[in-house]
Amino acid sequence: MTVAIPAVRSRDDAEFRSAVREWCREHVPPDWRTTQSGASDTTFVDFQKNWFATLRGAGYAVPHWPAEWGGGMSVDDQIVLYQELAAHDAPRLVLPFVSIHHAASTLLAAGTEEQRRRHLPAILDGQIWCQGFSEPGAGSDMAALTTSARRTGDVYVVNGQKVWASGAMHADWCLLLARTDPNAPKRQGISYFLLDMSTPGVDVRPIRQATGESHFCEIFLDDVEIPATALVGPENDGWRVAQETLGAERGMTMLELAERLGHGGFPWLVDLCARSGPDGERPLDDPRVADRLAALETEITGLRLLCADFVAGGRGPADASVVKLYYSEVLQRVTDFGAEIGGLDAQTRLRKPLSSGWESGNWVLDFIGSWEWTIPGGTSEIQRTIIGERGLGLPREPKGS
């Protein structure tokens, strides 16, 4: 069943869209879902690095970066690019996701020129990054982190533990927050570091998830020495620098994901509803199903408009949180409906291809995976607090005793 997805821009982009379509037909691996199902970690990493290199060769790997660093694509063209990649079922850049979004945005906003020149070209060459913010006793509350960094000569000595670090077992570098002044107010005693994951004292342990994957990891840090030159921003100013990272996670990364939802996930859902069941009836013929599809399509279109406006620069103090919160909730509703319509078949097809994000094509796994988006970059509860305080100007949330 063909689904007409509304455009979110009116500019005539026919020539660029045609070029991307032709490129996708030639370069998107048609069998990647089959080859990535049950693949080993080594096969997954090799595939992701090769796919990233292929996209880079076309100028499609980092379209959101500044032109001087290899990007420079307009928001309109980024939207077209992500729409066509989704429509051609191209694999997502799962492995370099933190590298090209979180690390790059942090370096561009707060890194030194030397740090940018060292790491941005390396990321384009395939350097993989993870993020070490969350801790077992703090969760998403960065102000409660206890990992310590003590300055000794030209190095900081770091001890502590991080958790929920996506892809850390494959990472070359880590964006790390650590407390450098235990006596300062909680938000003022934190510093931001670039950690080489091959440094002695770094121990990474993958976490087994409900979907069967081990995407998240724990990172243990035992007397790890980080050069003082790897400090990003001034000492004890890591809270401010981290807002650059979280701003990217809450807003900039959502453009691709929203277009994936509109041009990948939603058409799948409509197709599912249009299939005849064992009794010959189609879910789509039920007015209640048609109403829910219409409501979801409206929500997805609204999400895409929000993302496009955010990336284009029309940002308020809480817009990134609005985008992130809304995406996570729409994603949950879409995948929940897919699992419901899919019936028994959706409950028993539990094989997930690597190199897909939430969009494995198996609705139950995708619904489970959708909950992941309520946690990173600040939980949904934190996003609501930010929206209330910064966006609506409500009084600050009372602190617990």
Distance in angstroms (rounded) separating the CA atoms of residues 360 and 347: 14
> Residue for token digits 């899919």?
342
Distance in angstroms (rounded) separating the CA atoms of residues 62 and 376: 22
Spatial neighbors of 176 by CB under 8 A, at least 6 apart, are 132, 147, 158, 162, 192, 193, 194, 195, 226
Distance separating the N- and C-terminal Cα atoms of the chain: 56
Spatial neighbors of 142 by CB under 8 A, at least 6 apart, are 133, 177, 187, 190, 239, 242
Based on the residue annotation, tell me whether 84 is a catalytic residue of this protein. no
Q: What does DSSP assign to residue 398? A: P
List the structure tokens of 57. Answer: 């060769």
Q: What is the DSSP string of 87-153?
A: HTTPPP--TTHHIIIIIHHHHHHH--HHHHHHHHHHHHTT--EEEE--BTTTBT-GGG---EEEEET
Distance in angstroms (rounded) separating the CA atoms of residues 316 and 301: 20
Catalytic residue among 249, 256, 359, 372: 249
Phi, psi of 72 (to 5 degrees): 95, 15
Distance in angstroms (rounded) separating the CA atoms of residues 398 and 334: 34
List the structure tokens of 225. Answer: 């020495």
Distances (CA, A) of 60 to 70, 172, 301: 9, 23, 24
User: Which residue, 83, 64, 67, is CA-closest to 16?
Assistant: 83
Active-site positions read 249
